[in-house]
Structure 1
Amino acid sequence: MTEPQADALVADLAARARTGARLLAAVSTATKAHGLAAAAARIREHRDAILAANAEDLARAKAGGLAAAMRDRLRLDAARVDGIAAALDAVSRLPDPVGRVIDASTRPNGLALSRVRVPIGVVAIVYESRPNVTADAAALCVMAGNAVILRGGSEARASNAAVHASLAEGFADAGLPADAAQLVPVADRVVVGALLRASGLIDLVVPRGGKGLVARVQADARVPVLAHLDGNNTSFVHASADPAMAEALVVNAKMRRTGVCGATETLLIDRAYPHAAQLATALLDAGCALRGDEAARALDPRIVAADEADWATEYLDAVCAVAVVDGTDAAIAHVARHGSGHTDAIIAEDAGVAECFLAQVDSAIVMWNASTQFADGGELGLGAEIGIATGRLHARGPVALEGLTTYKWQVRGRGQTRP
C-alpha cells in the first residue's frame, strides 16, 4: 500500500468515525451499557471461533520466531476469552463520566459557570500482541462517548478480527452506531504512519506496545499522543520489611506473569535487610534468572553480573536485575535514574519510611506492601484500561473512562453584556 492509499483509507475511517462519534453523543448511558453487555454475550457465544483464530495467530507467530513473552501476550485460552467478556461487563456497569459536572460557580455579575465532562471525539489505538486490547479499547472509548479506530499488530490479525466481529454484533444488537468501533482492515505498517499524520481527522492517538512502537508514535505523530511507556518497575525491600511478606510479594511481582507491563524488573534490597539471601533464593528457585551488582552476587553464586543496561531494561521475561542499596534515599535515587515512571513499590513495616517513598518517587503508580502486578485498571477498580500513562498531562496511571474524556465550559447568562 502506498502512502496516498493509506492516507485515503485513514481519511475514510476517520470520517465514518466522526459521524459515529456524533451519533454516539446522543446515545444514553443505558444504551451504551446495553451495547457492551451484548458484546460480552457475543464474545462468550463465539469463544470457539475466537480461540481458533488465536491458534492460527500463535502458529504463525511461533513459525516467525516471535519472542516467548510476546507469544504469552498473544495467547488466548477459554479463561482469557471469558476475561475479555467479563471486562466488557465490568465497563458497562461503570459510572458514565459524560455530562458529569466537575465544578460550578456563579460570577458576581450573575454568570453561571460549569465545567462538564465531554468525549474527546475520535481516538485511534495502535497496539501490539494482546487481542484483549481490541475489546478493552472499544469498550472504554464507546462508554466514554468516543468513536475508536483500532489498529492491532499483524501478529494478532486473526484474533483481533474475531473479537471485533463479536463486538460489532453486540453493538448492532443495542442499536449503537456501526462506526463507533472500527478495525483497520489491512496489516500494512504504512497505515500507522497515516494515522499519525491525520491531524484534524483524529483527536488522540494512544500507543500500546513495546518501547519501539511508542517511540515511533511519539516521534512521528502530528496528533496528540497519550503515551504508555515501558514498565521498568522496581520493588524495594526496606530493612523493616516482614520477611515472609517480602518474599511472597517479590516472587509474585516478578513471576506471576513476566510478560505484563506491571511486572517488577528490578529488585532493590536495603543493605540492612537481614534476609536478602532468602529473597534471591526464592526468585532463583521460582525459575528467575538474576543479574546483580557485586553485593547482590555475594548472596548466591547463581547470580550473574549486571551491566549498566540491566537497570533500565524491561525484560518481560523471567529475568530480574538485583542491587543492594544503602537505604531508602539510595533506592529513591536509583528509581529516579533508571525507572520509567510506571510503577514502583516499597515493602516495609516502617510507615514513615514508606510514606517518604510514596511521596518522593515520581511514578504514575507508587505502592506500599503490594505487588506491582496490581498495576492494572481492573485491579484498581477502573474496569478495563487503555494502558498506563506515564506522562504528567491529561491522564496518568491506568487510563479508563475519565481519562478518555475532556471538558468544556458552559456559561449560562441572563443577558449580561461586558462593560
Structure 2
Amino acid sequence: MSGIRADAIACRDAAPLVAALGTAAKQALLRAMATSLEQHAAGILAANARDMEQAADKGVQAALLDRLRLDGPRVEAMAQALREVAGLPDPVGVVTRSEVRPNGILVERVRIPLGVVAMIYEARPNVTADAAALCLMAGNAVILRGGSEALHSNTAIAEALHDALRAHGLPTAAITLVTDLSRQAMVELLQLVDLVDLAIPRGGEGLIRFVAEHARVPVIKHYKGVCHLYVDRAADAGVALDLLIDGKTSRPGVCNSLETLLVHRDMAAAFLPRAAEALQARGVELRGDERTRALVPAAIPAGDEDYAAEFLDLILAVRVVDDLEQAIAHIRRHGSDHTEVIATRDEAAAQRFVQALRSAVVMVNASSRFSDGGQLGLGAEIGISTTRLHAYGPMGAESLTVERFVVHGDGQVRHPQSRG
C-alpha cells in the first residue's frame, strides 16, 4: 500500500469521530488550536524563515514571497481566524427546509459533513490553519497537501494543530499533512475516489488546471482572478479613486486585487489623469487603449492579452468605454467570474451591473479586497469557487457540507397492498 493511500485511509477513519462532535466540542477544539498556534509562534516563524530563505535563493517572484511570508501579526491573524470560525453558527444538522407532504410524511433537508476534503495549495501557510478549522467546524476530516516552498511552515503549523487534537482525544489523522510532495503522489491522491469526497485546489492557474485534469474525485475550481473596477458616469470620483487605490495597491499579489480599470468616457478626462498620478506614485505600471493613452501619455499600449491577464503585480490594464453596456460586454469577454466592482451613485446603473454579470462576487461602491471569506462573514475561507457547483464564491464552513433528505413517517407506503 502506498503512503498516500495509507494517509487517506487514516483520515477517512478519523472523519466519523469529527462528524460526531457537537457544537460545543468543535468550538472548544478550534479555540484550543488557536491557542496552540500562539504558543508555537516562535517555532512557526523560525520554520517560515527557512522557507523564505530557500524561496529567495530559488528566485521566487515577489508576489509568491508575499504569500509565503509569516510574521507575528500574521500568526496572530491565523489564530484569530480560528476563533472567528469557532464563533460562527454550526452548519451541521441545520434543517434548511421542512415540508409535510399530502400523504403525511415529513420531508426535511438537513446539512451533513462531506467526509474527507483534500486541500491542495501553494505558498500560503495560513491555508493550513484556515482549511483545518473550516473542515473541522463542518464535521470533516482534511488532507492538506501544501507546496514544497512552504513545507517547513506547514509542518510547524500542523504540529501545533495536532497538539490540540491530542489534547481533545482526537486522532491527528483528522488533519493529515502530506509530506510526499511529488506529482505522482498528488495524482494518486486526486484519484482516491473511495476515500476522498472533494478536492479544493488553491494557488496559481497552472496548479488548478493540473488538479482538474488529473482528478477523478470532484473538484472545486477557481482558475484566476481578473477583477474589474468600472467607474460609471455617475460615480463619485473620490470614492472611485479610493476603491482603485485599495483594490490595486494594498496587496497586488492576491486574487481579489484589481487587474483592469474601465472608465466611462464622460468621466475619463477628469478622472484618469488624477488616477494615473496616484497609481504611478505607488509604482503601478499602466497599460491602456488609445483613449486612455491620449489622457495618460505614460501608459503603454494594451492588447487583448493584457485585458485577460491576472498580473498579480503593480500592473493595471485600463480602458475607456462608451457606456455601462460596453463595460459589461468587456467584463463578460475578459472576466474570470471572480469579483467585479462598480463605482456609481446611479442606483439603476448599479442594479443593471449586478443583474448583468454572473461573477461570484459583485461590489457596488466597495473595494474588491472585501471579496474574502473573513471579510464577508465566513470567519475564514477555504477557497473561492467560480465553478457553480454546490458552492459559488468564497467558501466557508457551510460550503463544506451538503444537504440530504431526511424523511419521517408513520408507516406510510407508496403502494398500499390490500390486507386480508
TM range (shorter): over 0.9
What TM-score, normalized by structure 2, do the two folds share?
Answer: 0.97
Equivalences for residues 233-312 of structure 1 within 5 A = 233-273=227-267, 274-312=270-308
User: Secondary structure of the residue that 2:253 maps to in structure 1?
Assistant: coil
**Aligned length, in residue pairs:** 413
C-alpha displacement of 1:82: 0.5
Aligned position for 1:52: 46
Q: Which of 124, 128, 142 is the matching residue for 1:134?
A: 128
Q: Which of 1, 12, 18 is the matching residue for 2:6?
A: 12
Q: Give the distance between the partners of 1:397 and 1:256, measured in 2 at CA.
A: 21
C-alpha displacement of 1:300: 1.9
Aligned position for 1:72: 66
Which amino acid in structure 2 is aligned with residue 358 of structure 1?
V
Provide runs of 4+ in structure 1 moved above 4 Å.
Answer: none
Aligned position for 1:352: 348
Q: Which of 204, 209, 216 is the matching residue for 2:210?
A: 216
C-alpha displacement of 1:384: 0.6
Which amino acid in structure 2 is aligned with residue 275 of structure 1?
F
Q: Which of 167, 182, 186 is the matching residue for 2:180?
A: 186
Q: Give the distance between the partners of 1:32 and 1:133, measured in 2 at CA.
A: 19
For residues 162-198 of structure 1, what are the alpha-carbon distances to aligned partners after superposition, in whole Å with 9 as ceiling and x for unaligned? 1111111122222333221110022222211111111
Q: Which of 303, 311, 321 is the matching residue for 2:317?
A: 321
For residues 307-333 of structure 1, what are the alpha-carbon distances to aligned partners after superposition, in whole Å with 9 as ceiling and x for unaligned? 211111111111111111111100100
Q: Give the distance between the partners of 1:404 and 1:190, measured in 2 at CA.
A: 27
For residues 178-226 of structure 1, what are the alpha-carbon distances to aligned partners after superposition, in whole Å with 9 as ceiling and x for unaligned? 2211100222222111111111211100000000011111111100001
Q: Is the 8 A contact 1:24 1:177 kept in 2?
A: no
Q: Give the distance between the partners of 1:219 and 1:128, measured in 2 at CA.
A: 17
Q: Give the distance between the partners of 1:40 and 1:175, measured in 2 at CA.
A: 17
User: Secondary structure of the residue that 2:194 maps to in structure 1?
Assistant: coil
Q: Is the 8 A contact 2:272 2:296 kept in 1?
A: no
User: Secondary structure of the residue that 1:385 maps to in structure 2?
Assistant: coil
C-alpha displacement of 1:361: 1.1
Gaps of 5+ in 2: 416-420
Aligned position for 1:231: 225
Q: Give the distance between the partners of 2:271 and 2:316, measured in 1 at CA.
A: 18
Q: Is the 8 A contact 2:117 2:198 kept in 1?
A: yes
Aligned position for 1:104: 98
Q: Is the 8 A contact 2:20 2:139 kept in 1?
A: no
Q: Give the distance between the partners of 2:123 and 2:19, measured in 1 at CA.
A: 31
Equivalences for residues 357-372 of structure 1 within 5 A = 357-372=353-368
Identity %: 49
C-alpha displacement of 1:159: 0.4
Q: Is the 8 A contact 1:280 1:299 kept in 2?
A: no
Aligned position for 2:418: none
Equivalences for residues 32-51 of structure 1 within 5 A = 32-51=26-45
| 1:146 corresponds to 2:140 | yes
User: Secondary structure of the residue that 1:398 maps to in structure 2?
Assistant: strand
User: Secondary structure of the residue that 2:159 maps to in structure 1?
Assistant: helix
Which amino acid in structure 1 is aligned with residue 43 of structure 2?
A
Equivalences for residues 332-343 of structure 1 within 5 A = 332-343=328-339
What TM-score, normalized by structure 1, do the two folds share?
Answer: 0.97
